[in-house]
Amino acid sequence: MKSAKALVLFFAITVAGVANAGGVQTWGHLSDALAVGLPLLAAGTAFGKGDSQGVKELTYTLGATLAADTALKSLIHEQRPDGSGKDSFPSSHTAIAFAAARFIDKRYASEASPYLYAVAGFTALARVKADKHYAKDVLVGAGLGYAAAEYFTRPIAGGAVSFMPGKSGVALLWQKPLF
């Protein structure tokens, strides 16, 4: 629960800073910080718990996320909204943020999971507000990161959020053991 409170405090301070500073450049700096912060939190959680298997799974998750992201960027070459000349599709920042959030959620069934997804979502919003990506870029990035973590991460604690495809759409599930 302490980590959840610390995460909420960090998020609140960060958002307050953006609200005061504003501007495209500030959104860019914020998205940089969040895209680094979530993987560091994931690594710190695994190391802090002495979870060498978790460190390995996080490494695979982030490696696969970056590999898929880089492959798509090299194939598609979509221009960024800001015209910077860098590839837009998909969003690496968003992919990494969602990979880290899903890793912590699935591996440790953290009480902070809703906050982690909120921070990852805010990373995506910040990339669009920074004029670095289009909405489709961050949506695909989020899917890449989530999918990589879903594939490479095994739970060690009870409870996790997951997606379940069906004939009429996709359901969001929260699973927690009764005993």
Q: Mind listing the pLDDT tens digit for each residue in 56-90?
A: 999 999 999 999 999 998 999 888 887 887 887 89
Q: What is the pLDDT of residue 30?
A: 76
Domain coordinates in residue numbering, the chain = 2-175
Residue (of 5, 37, 1, 30) closest to 16 by Cα position: 30
pLDDT at 23 over 70: no
Residue (of 47, 158, 48, 43) closest to 100 by Cα position: 43
What are 87's strand-pairing partners? 79
Would the pTM of this model clear 0.85, i.e. be above it? no
Q: What is the pLDDT of residue 62?
A: 96
| The two three-digit tokens of residue 137, written as one number | 């870029």
Q: What is the pLDDT of residue 78?
A: 84
From residue 48, give the alpha-carbon distance in Å to each of 9, 110, 148.
20, 14, 22
